[in-house]
Structure 1
Amino acid sequence: MKHVEQIKSFVLFLLVFLSLILTFTIWTYTPDYQDIEDPQVEQITLGDKKDIQEIFKPYRILIHENGGFLGSTAPTAIDTLMDAIKDLDATELRFIQSNLSEEKLNSMIHSENQMTLFFPAEVPINAFDSVLQFTQSELPEIAFSHILIDWSNIEETNTLQFSFISKEKQTLYTTVVGVGQSEFNSTYMKTVQKTVPYEEIVRANELSLYVPSNAVDLVQYTYYIDEISTEVFKDILFEDTNIVQKNFDNTTYTDGMAMMTYDSGSKTINYVYPASESMVEIKHSDLVHDSYDFVNDHGGLTGDYRYSYNNIPKHVIEYQLYLQGLPVFSSVTSTRIAVTWGANQVFEYKRPYYLFIASESSTRQLPSGVDMVKTLQTLKDIDDLVLGYYLTPDPQKAKVYTLEPSWFVIREGSWARLTPEPAGGAQYGLE
């Protein structure tokens, strides 16, 4: 019995010791937490995203060599040239001249060993640097409507001179681009193979017009179309689709802040977020980048849409639909995507919701540009005379559209179709 007390004391000591160990373990224990991953939400898109250089394309290449002009609107020629430019590096951009006259620009385009790229709208150089890389870290906030590529000195220097000209601001900047002669010759020959003879139409105190010298054979297309569901646009454009409601005629969606309407006749949608409206000044390059990011993030460039128009004071950027290198115009539907930027987000978004899915084709011949010029009463205040496609629905077949090759007059971003007179003769008139 004399050891009982000792045993009890030992057991009590052991229990206290174990209690202390357990308490210490509880205080110092850190569970192995696993990171909780956010559930992956599949992004809704209309199509594939595009690189920004795919929307900055000239609508015409013009070459002056051996005293004559060659020109092309062929996608293969333009893509070959733009792909080659994308691989080049330019030196510092240098200011050369302001108040550049129309006569001076005509003279530059007319220079020997000169290639001119015509763009449908002024392109900010700070957006184009994703195509052509410059050595300087900060570029000026300028834009251009023409790029002139001079290869006069390539044999001696292995360089090209790029001239960036703004028709609107009448400014001239240049840079030097290094390129091997064999590399240039390869690109040049691939481009020239797609060219046809062009004529210069000289106008007093205005820029010359440049048109094909001969009759033009183009393909007329009949396209079957598909439609992007307006429900998809609702899911993309509204932040909380659970509170979006339709009105009584099912043509308007709203969440109380934003509104989207659609027109089944013209197959277009119009989204507006009134609270974001702002007239605060936005730089041209920022406006281009913001609108491009907005549309491209949801794969909204669902065809060959190209940057084609801007209204900087009103924050508007537009993208024109092209087919086989030619712009598509229509009186019954929209062939443009228009973005109006607001306070750090889109204010208005207008666009078509149709897609071309299959086609039939036939060949049609159009008069030469020289002959078309003769039918016009005046050449004054015309920005350009271009070939394009006129989009119309087939009256006999649902969801079937015809794309008819036609001549168009362009003035300040607007178009007018030149159509044969009812008598069926050679005379053409504005539609």
Structure 2
Amino acid sequence: MRYETIKTMILAVFVAASIFLTWMIWNFQPHYDTIDRRDIHQVSIAEERDTGSLIKPGKIMVNQVNRHYGTTDESEINDILKEMKGWSFYGSQGIKTLSVKDINSLEIGNNHVDIVFPENVPVKVYKDVVQFNDKSLPDTSFNRIVIDFTDGGHRDNNLYFLSTTSQKAYVCSVNYQYISSLMKDINKTLYDSYKLYDVYNLSKGKTILLPKDQTNMNTYRYITDEVPPEKFERALFPDPNFVKKGEVGDSQEYTNGTSMMRTNDSSKMLYYINPSEDSNYQTNADDLLKRSLEFMNHPGMWTDTYHYFQMNLKKHQVIFRMYLHGTPVFENSKMAEIMLQWGENEIYQYNRPFYRLAILVPQKVSESMLPGGAEVIQEISKISGISLDRVDDLQIGYQLINDTDYDSKQNNVLIFEPEWYYLYNGDWIPVSQDQLGGKQGGLE
């Protein structure tokens, strides 16, 4: 009897344990870390870059005593921007609409520093570069920062975030001591780092400042290497495991059924399109530029030196252009620019080179002497079908040329040759060396 009782008790314990363990299994909820899909395909192609290094002026003008001095020197521009980062912009006077006469007065009038950007920059984006005291910033853009350095009894001076295209300016105040300190630094290097500029007329009422004398520029050759296209594949497609790869001539194609990336081995260009994205939507310049900066920084897809250069709000496009020694680079096949076109939620189209500059060929560096502003304007006026009153800007740039004398399957050699360019109907067009009398001098 005792033996049967013990067996019954043991069996009861087993049954109870079984019930308890079953209950534990049913109610057990393991802890899983949340997977962020944005990090699944995070690929580091290059280091992230801050807003100030991507949105940069291309030229700084100093206008004083009816004389105009300008510089495109990288180190000089960087020194001025570094000093301005410590300033505080306050006492906003709001948005002012200016006449053409007012704008000319700011650009070429005495006692003004004119910091010139290649494209309009939203004020709300530039707050990541300089300090605005105003809590609420306006929905406006600028392509000039004009500093009034008139000594008015050490009063605080005005500073204009000016758009020459919309003829509007966001006007702030700056402590005069900041400006006085800046002008002391500028005057130390004015005659060494700056060139003398003159005012030239493009048409009635339309003027431009250009170098008065010839400009000495180098031609460079660089051996290039490439970023493996697979890195862009992993960065652009949500799940690379579903991507199929194929060959079409000298191109590679990658597709997941909804989007496609194509790379061209000869031009080292990459083209991506996501047609499932809706490109018919409304946006603003602030949002468009922010999205583009964030996209390029995550997962850090910068190669070489690129600056914000152009925006087409209607097409939702932003273009970053290659710069060499502070000078923009141009090429007809878009080999010197990164173009982003946005859909409503994701990138719609993305075109860019996947080469990068690797080694300078020093024995191939040569000199060119580019003419002054008067000769350039004279030559442009002779071009058939070109009207000077439709020329919006002129500047020196590098023309990118493939060195066909260099034979290598692994690397290409690119030539960077200085040229005058003029902006006509939205396009930058070179004024050839032949038209301007060809190269002078040389170290080759």
TM-score interval for Structure 1 and Structure 2 normalised by the shorter chain: 0.7 to 0.9
Query: Aligned runs of 1:301-312 on 2, under 5 Å?
Result: 301-312=302-313
1:268 shift after superposition: 1.0
Residues 190 and 339 of structure 1: CA distance in aligned 2, closer, same or farther (over 3 Å): farther
Matched, 1:108 2:106: yes
Residues 276 and 212 of structure 1: CA distance in aligned 2, closer, same or farther (over 3 Å): same
Find the counterpart in structure 1 of residue 335 from structure 2. 334
Q: Once the two structures are superposed, what CA deviation does each residue of 1:317-373 show, in whole Å capped at 9, x if it has no partner? A: 111111111110113552111100112110000111111111122222111222222
Structure 1 distance, partners of 2:32, 2:256, is 35
Give the aligned CA root-mean-square deviation in angstroms. 3.4
Find the counterpart in structure 2 of residue 323 from structure 1. 324
SS in 2 for 1:291: helix
Find the counterpart in structure 2 of residue 4 from structure 1. none
Find the counterpart in structure 2 of residue 137 from structure 1. 135
1:104 shift after superposition: 2.0
1:35 shift after superposition: 8.0
CA contact (8 A) 1:337 1:351 kept: yes
CA contact (8 A) 2:154 2:177 kept: no
CA contact (8 A) 1:118 1:146 kept: yes
SS in 2 for 1:334: coil
SS in 2 for 1:375: helix
1:397 shift after superposition: 0.2
2:392 aligned residue (380, 383, 390): 383
CA contact (8 A) 2:400 2:416 kept: yes
Find the counterpart in structure 1 of residue 159 from structure 2. 162
CA contact (8 A) 2:380 2:431 kept: no
CA contact (8 A) 2:379 2:436 kept: no
TM-score (norm. length: structure 2): 0.84
1:300 shift after superposition: 2.1
Q: Once the two structures are superposed, what CA deviation does each residue of 1:173-230 show, in whole Å capped at 9, x if it has no partner? A: 2101236356424543466342111111134444421111111111110111111222
1:417 shift after superposition: 0.7
SS in 1 for 2:404: coil
Amino-acid identity (%): 26
Residues 190 and 79 of structure 1: CA distance in aligned 2, closer, same or farther (over 3 Å): farther
SS in 1 for 2:391: coil
Query: Aligned runs of 1:158-197 on 2, under 5 Å?
Result: 159-178=156-175, 180-181=177-178, 183-189=181-187, 192=190, 193-197=192-196
Find the counterpart in structure 2 of residue 86 from structure 1. 85
Q: Once the two structures are superposed, what CA deviation does each residue of 1:208-253 show, in whole Å capped at 9, x if it has no partner? A: 2111111111111011111122222111111111433325547321
Find the counterpart in structure 1 of residue 271 from structure 2. 270
Matched, 1:127 2:140: no
TM-score (norm. length: structure 1): 0.86
Structure 2 distance, partners of 1:75, 1:425, is 27
In terms of Rg, which structure is larger? 1
Structure 2 distance, partners of 1:36, 1:253, is 31
**Number of equivalenced pairs:** 420
SS in 2 for 1:83: helix
Find the counterpart in structure 1 of residue 429 from structure 2. 416
Unaligned runs of 5+ in 2: 382-386, 440-444
Q: Once the two structures are superposed, what CA deviation does each residue of 1:99-131 show, in whole Å capped at 9, x if it has no partner? A: x23222111222221000111111111101111
Find the counterpart in structure 2 of residue 246 from structure 1. 246
Find the counterpart in structure 1 of residue 201 from structure 2. 202
